Structure 1
Amino acid sequence: MYKLNIIAFIISLQDFAPVLGSHMPDPAASQAETATVRRNDGSTSALTPSDRVRVSNARTSARSESTRRNYQSQWQSWTQWAEYRGVSALPAHPDMVEAYLSERAEFGHKPPTLRLAAAAITFVHSMHEVPSPVNHNVRETLKGLAEQYGRGQKQAAALTAEGLAAIRATACISRRGRGGRMETAEFARRRGLLDIAMVSLMRDALLRVGEAAELTWADLEDEADGTGRLTVHRSKTDREARGAVLFVSAQTMAAMNAVRNGAGPEERVFGLSVVQMTTRIKAAAKAAGLGEGYSGHSARVGMARDLVRAGTELTALMNAGLWQSHDMPAHYTRAEEAGRGAVARYYGAT
């Protein structure tokens, strides 16, 4: 059984670069290292352990931070299950992966989570140059579990233009904190202005919450007409980090300028984690009387729905939201699409 080191391939190894580069390895030691490296298929490899660290770091960087965190969590669940069952986690047998996924489905895990678990298992095996156990049979099992346990995936409540207007009207009103103490007027004003800026920018650029959390002020540029341009250097679907430039309305730029407070170009725009941003969006929606079900995806979903209502075609919507596939935008806007479909036109609804 292979010795597992989840941290070695999940976290970035940049912090260790000075250590690796601080000395030249002994040629004799490197030769000995190289001679002992053997692939799992029995063939030899010229890679030293140091080489493997560098390659592992490069491969890991191909995944977004959120994907790496999800893979780490899923892999830990799999290894714990494998240890309990007394079977090998790496390399894993396809039959045991099928048993694991089936058991998780029985205990209430949804098909998207099962697919993520299978992807994590495949990823770790590839990092260790081991054939993936997620073969045709496992994929068929995943399809069967989706049929057996799958239901319509719950969608985040849409933060539409009307919802944004409600948040703008209520965000700066004092609220009671966790301890029951009422916010001061100044604290409420500063919190509210940041909430308004955050949801406004996330709507305009159809940002994923992880993308919004990573923005710096250098990514946002003012235009002469009062609008702005936002550079997203890397998104979930932009693995090669080619980047994209997105439009920001004049109203949103005014909201952003109201919260900058002299921050430098390299400072984080919102200075909040993904969890903190999601929590604040939920709280802002609740305080505005919008109800429950709001999340870090709500601004993205809401703008997608507003754009379709305004007549935006699917291809243009995919470009605006940096989607590579039509699946998710079509899912977000299915109610709007139904409202302008063939039957709706027959009854004169559009």
Structure 2
Amino acid sequence: MSYLDPSHLSHTAHDWRAEFKRLDGAYAASTMRAYHADIETYTQWCALSERTPFPGSVDTVCAYLLDQGRFAPSTVRRRVYAIRKVHQLLRLPDPTFDEDINLTFRRIRRGKTSRPRQAKGMTKDYLEKFLAIQPDNPWGLRNRAMLSLGYDLLTRRSELVAITVDEVQFRSDGTLRVLIRRGKADPAGYGRIAFTSRRTGKLVAEWLDWRGYEFEPLFCPIYQGHAQNRHLSDTTVKHLIKSAAKNAGLNPSEVNDFSGHSMRVGAAQDLLKAGHDTAAIMRAGGWKSINVLTRYLENAECNVWL
């Protein structure tokens, strides 16, 4: 049967959810959630506009992108990728490589004059405050270890909650050597090695002394005073940072500026202020692109003339 058979197209127009199952394990869970939400948005827009989503015409996709132009260019670009992926999965003619799509996206990007929003960095001064307000109970032990380790390793929130006990090595000087697997820029899971301060080594040891070494996840939920054998959700990291900022007495607008990315941003800014060169910062945070790192550092309070 030809992929252009009308009966095939009418059937597959409703099968994208089923086809998405083929992507399981090939992409991060966060990427899959974003793709799913993007296609839901696209198909709903097509329904309201009385247009066919799959196969979508170049005119349909261009009109959709222009409608979505109120969002950040990175969001619009991701939605193009999602539409492309579904066409590929359904083995339909893909409109997203047409030059008109590229020109539409360029118009959207040039029309955006505002600067991209950067998460507020959890620098060492904030880290000290956030550690100090944690309660003296098992949750406080876990939270202090998570905050300090995430800062030292410059982790994304998904990387932090994915760390297992056997990926943490206690060294003779009181620091930790940690293998961080499956980062955003490392889908194959080769991993990167990072090191911590002595304080972080002490906080992680205190947490493990309480919860024990008998199961794999380094950071796990606590239910009725007992550690549970499963990984935390990555949203826990964002909630931890925001609640710590709120409990530390920061004003609401400042609390809102923190995110799950704040540890990575703040640590990179502190390394710059401490005089470390670009290569050292890129290695510490696992960056592959200096352009991406530059965005993290642009809000650092670092005056080169002083």
Question: Where on the TM-score scale, by shorter chain, does this alignment land: which range?
Answer: 0.7 to 0.9
- Please state whether the residue corresponding to 2:117 is helix, strand or coil: coil
Partner of 1:246: 194
Q: Which has the higher contact order (CA 8 A, sep 6+)?
A: 2
- Amino acid of the residue matched to residue 149 of structure 1? K
Deviation at residue 338 of structure 1 after TM alignment: 6.4
Aligned match for 1:122, one of 78, 84, 93: 84
Report if the CA contact (8 A) 1:308-1:337 is conserved.
no
Aligned match for 1:280, one of 240, 254, 260: 240
Give, in whole Å, the separation in 1 of the partners of 2:302 and 2:237: 32
Give, in whole Å, the separation in 1 of the partners of 2:294 and 2:216: 36
Is 1:141 aligned to 2:104, yes or no? yes
Give, in whole Å, the separation in 1 of the partners of 2:262 and 2:185: 19
Deviation at residue 149 of structure 1 after TM alignment: 3.2
Report if the CA contact (8 A) 1:211-1:232 is conserved.
yes
Distance 1:190 1:82, change over 3 A: same
Q: Structure 1: which 5+ runs fail to align? A: 12-55, 173-187
Give, in whole Å, the separation in 1 of the partners of 2:302 and 2:240: 32
Deviation at residue 214 of structure 1 after TM alignment: 1.8
Distance 1:317 1:126, change over 3 A: farther
- Please state whether the residue corresponding to 2:55 is helix, strand or coil: coil
Aligned match for 1:230, one of 155, 167, 178: 178
Report if the CA contact (8 A) 2:19-2:90 is conserved.
no
- Please state whether the residue corresponding to 1:339 is helix, strand or coil: coil
- Amino acid of the residue matched to residue 237 of structure 2? M
Give, in whole Å, the separation in 2 of the partners of 1:338 and 1:200: 23
Partner of 1:193: 141
Deviation at residue 127 of structure 1 after TM alignment: 2.3
Distance 1:280 1:323, change over 3 A: same
Partner of 2:48: 84
Aligned pairs for 1:288-327 within 5 A: 288-290=248-250, 291-292=254-255, 293-327=257-291
Give, in whole Å, the separation in 2 of the partners of 1:337 and 1:169: 24
Deviation at residue 3 of structure 1 after TM alignment: 3.9
Deviation at residue 265 of structure 1 after TM alignment: 4.1
Is 1:221 aligned to 2:169, yes or no? yes
Is 1:110 aligned to 2:110, yes or no? no
Report if the CA contact (8 A) 1:161-1:303 is conserved.
yes
Identity of aligned residues (%): 30
- Amino acid of the residue matched to residue 92 of structure 2? V
Q: Structure 2: which 5+ runs fail to align? A: 1-8, 222-231
- Amino acid of the residue matched to residue 278 of structure 1? K
Distance 1:218 1:140, change over 3 A: same
- Please state whether the residue corresponding to 1:63 is helix, strand or coil: coil
Larger radius of gyration: 1
Report if the CA contact (8 A) 1:195-1:284 is conserved.
no
Deviation at residue 252 of structure 1 after TM alignment: 0.7
TM-score (norm 2): 0.84
Partner of 2:28: 64
Question: Deviations along 1:213-251, whole A, 9 cap, x unmatched?
Answer: 222222212112211111112111012221112112221
Question: Deviations along 1:185-217, whole A, 9 cap, x unmatched?
Answer: xxx533222221111111111110111122222
Report if the CA contact (8 A) 1:198-1:270 is conserved.
no
Is 1:262 aligned to 2:226, yes or no? no
Deviation at residue 268 of structure 1 after TM alignment: 4.7
Give, in whole Å, the separation in 2 of the partners of 1:84 and 1:148: 25
- Please state whether the residue corresponding to 1:245 is helix, strand or coil: strand
Distance 1:238 1:131, change over 3 A: farther
Aligned length in residues:
279
- Please state whether the residue corresponding to 1:78 is helix, strand or coil: helix
- Amino acid of the residue matched to residue 95 of structure 2? P
Partner of 1:5: 15
Is 1:101 aligned to 2:65, yes or no? yes
Report if the CA contact (8 A) 2:16-2:90 is conserved.
no
- Please state whether the residue corresponding to 2:95 is helix, strand or coil: coil
- Please state whether the residue corresponding to 2:177 is helix, strand or coil: strand
